[in-house]
Amino acid sequence: MLEQGIERDEIEVRNDDKGKGNLLQCMESFKDCGEREGGIWHLQDDVIISGDFHKRTKELNNGVVCGFCCQKFESEATRSGDVYPEHMWYSFPCIRIPNRLAKECSEWFFDDASKRRVWAFEVNSKKYDDFFWREFMIERYPTVKVVNLRPSLVDHIDYLIGGSIINTLRKGQGRACYFEDEHLIKKLEEQLKNRGK
Percent of the chain having pLDDT more than 90? 64
- Residue 192 is predicted with a pLDDT of 83
Domain spans, the chain: 8-194
- Residue 170 is predicted with a pLDDT of 47
- Residue 183 is predicted with a pLDDT of 85
Buried b (16+ CB within 10 A) or exposed e, 121-160: ebbeebbbbbebbbbbbeeebeeeebbbbbbbbbbbbbeb
pLDDT band at 105 (very low <50, low <70, confident <90, very high): very high
Cα separation, 13 vs 50, whole angstroms: 19
CB contact at 8 A, 47 and 155: yes
Phi, psi (5° rounding) for residue 17? -75, -10
- Residue 81 is predicted with a pLDDT of 94
Q: CA of 4: how far to CAs of 1, 24, 28, 49, in Å?
A: 5, 31, 29, 10
pLDDT greater than 70 at residue 56: yes
**Mind listing the pLDDT tens digit for each residue in 156-181?**
887 676 655 455 444 555 777 888 88
